[in-house]
Amino acid sequence: MVKLIVRVLLGVLMMPASAALFAQTAPQPKPAPTPALLDKMLGKWVIRGTIEGQQTTHDLEVSWVLNHGYLRLNEVSRERTASGAPQYEAIVLMSWDAQAGEVRCLWLDTTSNSGLSGRGIGIAKPTTDTLPIIITSSPTVSFQNKMVYNASNNSWQWIMDGIENGQTTPFARLILTRK
Q: Which has more pLDDT, 35 or 175?
A: 175
Residue 15 lies in a domain: no
| d(C-alpha 51, C-alpha 73), whole Å | 18
Mean pLDDT of 72-84: 95
Residue 110 lies in a domain: yes
Residue 87 lies in a domain: yes
Burial code (b: 16+ CB inside 10 Å, e: under 16) for 13-22 equals eeeeeeeeee
How many folded domains does the chain comprise?
A: 1
Q: Tell if the pTM clears 0.75, that is, is over it.
A: yes
| d(C-alpha 43, C-alpha 39), whole Å | 9
Whole-number pLDDT of residue 31: 53
Residue 52 lies in a domain: yes
Query: Which residues span the domain enclosing 71?
Result: 36-178
Nearest C-alpha neighbor of 135 from the set 147, 121, 146: 121
| d(C-alpha 156, C-alpha 158), whole Å | 7
* CATH code at position 94: 2.40.128.20
